[in-house]
Chain A
């Protein structure tokens, strides 16, 4: 919880938009995928945040990568997930969720 608090406060909206701007391409998408995977933000904050980042110049594909991994991939909650399932299932589920997010991002990239 506190880890997210710290990282979100340090990264200003301007920095985020520069990293994942509409022109940032695959690099920006990779940054967004990683950022979404390792952070944990209340879901009702996720989309207002995504919309705000779009307004600040972030690209649709990058935001798609960010919000989808934010909700589906949980690196922070992996220890909890392993406790409820086992290492094999939890790791595979997170990898598959990352793949689904990448597919979704590519479709958004092509269509929007």
Chain B
């Protein structure tokens, strides 16, 4: 009876528990590690906090930026620079957008959703993700200083052409209706 009343007052609490069951479970694991081995537990907690901080500091600005670009940049502009017939312009735009970026790949997903909404070509969107994961400028500087110029140059020289090649292959092997549903999904949902 009492629990029923509670459920009626807080209809969300059981669904909340279900939704966050992994997060809660892992938090308990970290707590358990802490009590068996203090230093490992503290480190696990520290790394978790720094990852969460990175996510919280990067995602809101990206969502705001994506929202603004959605309003400011007309579809025709994106189609002209990254659309089906944009050719080299599309490749250069993907290179520029991907390199100017900062942050882990999941931060790029809202941006790709925006590009899909504005009808950019799928191959260029996938290439943009490849560029993002290879040569984003701030991280490139880190790579040069820690791994050396040769390592970094090989990374870019091998990574970029092959990401472009695979992006085009994925687009080509993808069934027409699957690709169309991607665009329709992006048009219906705001990023």
Contact = CB atoms under 8 A, between A and B. Distances in A.
Interface of A: 1-6, 8-10, 40-48, 50-51, 54, 60, 63-64, 67-68, 71-72, 74, 77, 80-81, 84-86, 88-89, 92-93, 96-97, 99-100, 103-104, 107-108, 111-112
19 contacts: A1-B55, A2-B23, A2-B30, A5-B30, A5-B46, A6-B29, A6-B33, A8-B43, A43-B103, A44-B142, A51-B147, A67-B143, A72-B105, A84-B113, A86-B178, A88-B174, A92-B174, A93-B126, A112-B150
A3 B26 CA distance: 7
Nearest to B140: A47
A97 B30 CA distance: 31
A10 B29 CA distance: 12
B117 to A, nearest CB: 11
A107 B49 CA distance: 36
Interface residues of B, number: 62
A5 B48 contact: yes
B17 interface: no
Given A47-B146, A85-B112, A88-B178, A41 B51 contact: yes
B140 to A, nearest CB: 10
A60 B187 CA distance: 44
Interface stretch (B1-9, B67-75, B76-84, B152-160): B152-160
B134 A42 contact: no
Nearest to B141: A47
B151 A112 contact: yes
A84 B112 contact: yes
A43 B102 CA distance: 9
Nearest to A105: B158
B97 interface: no
B104 interface: yes
A86 B104 contact: no
A46 B106 CA distance: 16
A103 B113 CA distance: 28
A78 to B, nearest CB: 10
A31 B129 CA distance: 24
Given A1-B55, A81-B109, A72 B133 contact: yes
Given A47-B147, A107-B154, A108-B154, A1 B48 contact: yes
